[in-house]
Structures are given as structure tokens and as C-alpha cells.
Amino acid sequence: MSQTLAKKHIGVLGGGPWGIALATAAARAGAQVSMHTRREPPHHAGVHVTTDYAEIARASLVVVAVPSTVVREVLRALGDHLDGHHLVVHGIRGLSPDGLETVSDIVRKETPVRRCGALGGPVQAYELLRGRPSAMVVGSRFPEVTAAVTEAFHSPSLKIYSTPDIRGLEWASALVGCVAIGVGYAQQAGAGPGLLAALISTAVDESAKLLAMAGADERTMLGLGGYGDLLASIGLADRPEVIIGKALAQGRSLEDAVTDAHLRVEAITVIPRIVGFAKQHRVKAPTFDILAEILAGARPEALIPRLFA
């Protein structure tokens, strides 16, 4: 490895746990990192904190890690400082409420940037923070973006995989977030390994069909950014989606469950929209139907067996 080569400047948008984790991982891999956040910035070695978008725009690779609810405004503001040479990637697990746009669609709409990418895969924030070995996926049709992300994040403890199917990766990440709630719910409800495996496989199958309808490659759902990401949720008791699922299975309200999770969970707004999308395109997605019922307050014991009816 050419550890001695000076790594390039990267900008990170968002000072939440995920933004901090990404900034830390990049700094550890040797990049010069500027992070844009309006929160009280905790000090992190090698990360320069700013509230000025122009400073972020001085980096040629910008990583967006803000909640999906504000991503449009943030990109619009940042877009004033960007031009066609910037590379923009995002690590947001979500689809827009109006029309299920992916975040990269929003990047193209709100900024002059064309060369964009998405981050996904099973890697967890704490793994990035502590430098624990893990794997991340970058999706982009532009090899330059894949190369830039690899250069910025690749380290002995973080392996970067890539796919040209950016749309597939974005959809897979969003759907995995939804299904992870179901995983938590089933675990809490006492589902054994066999039932859990059946639940996951059924959900992956439905998700793959949904990806195809969304104009992506269904195989992306079967890879690290889909199946792989979902498998990680089994062992992750502290994954926010899993926490919410468990809380719901205990009979707690959605509001309480969200409070338990401490983090914003994009899946809560995505699930009902996926149900609508499936209906519109005549794709059978019973797992998502049931997830929507659970979120709407239904708690019948018989929900899980119904999946296999």
C-alpha cells in the first residue's frame, strides 16, 4: 500500500453519529477531512469542523451523511458552491417521501454534480469509529467515484466493494432498513433461527422484485449491499431498526420505540410508501404489508405465521 502518498481532501456533510464515523474512518485512512455540522462539534483527531459550505466545496469528494428529511435543503445550499468536477457520494438509507426518489436523484436535481455515488453494505458506525474490521459497498456508474471512495476510506480494517448499480444499492439499503425492523420484531416475539431465516429470505425475494420494478438490478439485493447488510442485523442488538422492531413487539408505541432507538430511522417513513409502490406495480410484498400494519399499531401474534400462509 502506498501509505506514504498524500491522500486527498474530502468533505463530510453532517455531524451525526454516521457522519462522524465516516469522517473518522477517512481520517484514519489518511485523508484530509473537513466536516460540516451545526452541532456542537466533538473533537476528532484529523477532522476539521466548519459551518461554511464553501470550505466543503474545496474538497473534490463530498460525502453526504445528513438525515434524509433535510438532504434536499442541504444539497440545494451546498449546490451553490459545487460544479461539474465534484464527486458527491451519500450514505443515506432512505428514499424521498414524494415519489420515492433516491438521494442520488436528488443530488442531480439540486446540484450541478453528475458524478455521484452511494455508500451501503453491512458496515456499522461503531466499527468505523473504533477501526474494527468491516466491509462497505460503494455504488456508482463512474469509476472515478469508486476510485475516490476507495482511496478515501480503504484501510487495513475497512474493505471497500463496488457496484455500478447505484440505484440498486440505494433501494437495497432502504429496503434492508425496513426489513431489519421485522428482524427485531421477530426476534423479540421469540422466532427461532429457522423462522428468522425464512423471514429474511422471503423479504429478500420480495425486495429483489421491488428493485427490478424500480429500474435496478435485482441481483444487487442478493449481494453485500442487500442480503449481506440484512444478515448483519441479526447479530446487531443495537442497530436502531432492530431496537424499534423489538420495542414494537413488546407492545410499546411507535413514539416510544423511536425514542428507544435514539437515532432517526428512515424506514418508518419508507415502509408505507413501499407498500403503495408494490401495489401500483402489482408486486406481491406481504412482508412489507405486515411491517406497515405493525407500524400502524397492529400487534396480533398471528402476524408472522401469516407471512407463510
Partner 1 sequence: MSKAPIFGFNEHREEIVREVVNRVVAGTKDSLLVLNDAAYHETKRLETARRPHDVKEREEWRTLARSLGRMGDGERRRRLTELTERYAWDVAGNFNPRVYSLSKRLLPPLVTSLLQPTMFLRKPQELLNLDVLKAHVSIEGPIAKIQKLVQDGTAVFVPTHLSNFDSIVFGYALEAAGLPPATYGAGKNLFSNPVLSFFMHNLGAYRVDRRLRHNLYKDILKTYSCVLLERGYHSLFFPGGTRSRSGGIERRLKLGLVGSAVEAYARTLIAGKERRVYFIPATINYLITLEAETLIADYLSEAGKGRFIIEDDESTQLDRLFTFTRKLFDMRGAVVIRFGEPIDPFGNRVDDEGMSHDSRGRAVDPASYVKNRDGEVTLDATRDAQYTRELGEAICAGYESDTVAMSTHVVAAACFHRLREIAPAQDLFTVLRQRDVLTVPRDELARDVSAMREKMKEMEQRGQIRLGEHLRAASGGDIVERAARSFAGYHTARAIESRPNGIAIVDPNLLFYYQNRLAAHGLGWDTLAPPGMLPAVPVQLRSVGSPSTTSSGAAAAEGKTP
Q: Could you tell me which stretch among 32-40, 123-131, 141-149, 259-267 binds partner 1 (CB under 8 A)?
A: 141-149
Interface with partner 1 includes 72 (CB under 8 A)? no
Report the residue number, 211 or 261, with the smaller CB distance to partner 1: 211
Q: Could you tell me which stretch among 78-86, 89-97, 198-206, 253-261 binds partner 1 (CB under 8 A)?
A: 78-86
Interface with partner 1 includes 235 (CB under 8 A)? no
Report the residue number, 149 or 267, with the smaller CB distance to partner 1: 149
Interface with partner 1 includes 99 (CB under 8 A)? no
Separation between Cα atoms, residue 283 and residue 99, nearest integer Å: 17
Interface with partner 1 includes 211 (CB under 8 A)? no
Q: Given the C-alpha cell 472515478, which residue does it identify?
A: 144
Interface with partner 1 includes 284 (CB under 8 A)? no
User: Quick one: which of 141, 154, 252, 264 contacts partner 1 (CB under 8 A)?
Assistant: 141
User: Quick one: which of 76, 262, 279, 284 contacts partner 1 (CB under 8 A)?
Assistant: 76
CB of 276 to partner 1, least distance (A): 13
| C-alpha cell recorded at residue 307 | 407471512
Report the residue number, 143 or 156, with the smaller CB distance to partner 1: 143
Q: Could you tell me which stretch among 119-127, 140-148, 248-256, 264-272 binds partner 1 (CB under 8 A)?
A: 140-148
Do you know the residue count of the chain?
Answer: 309
Interface with partner 1 includes 132 (CB under 8 A)? no
Separation between Cα atoms, residue 113 and residue 116, nearest integer Å: 7
Applying CB under 8 A, the residues found at the interface with partner 1 are 8, 60-61, 76, 79-80, 83-85, 87, 108-112, 114-115, 141-144, 148, 212-213, 215, 281-282
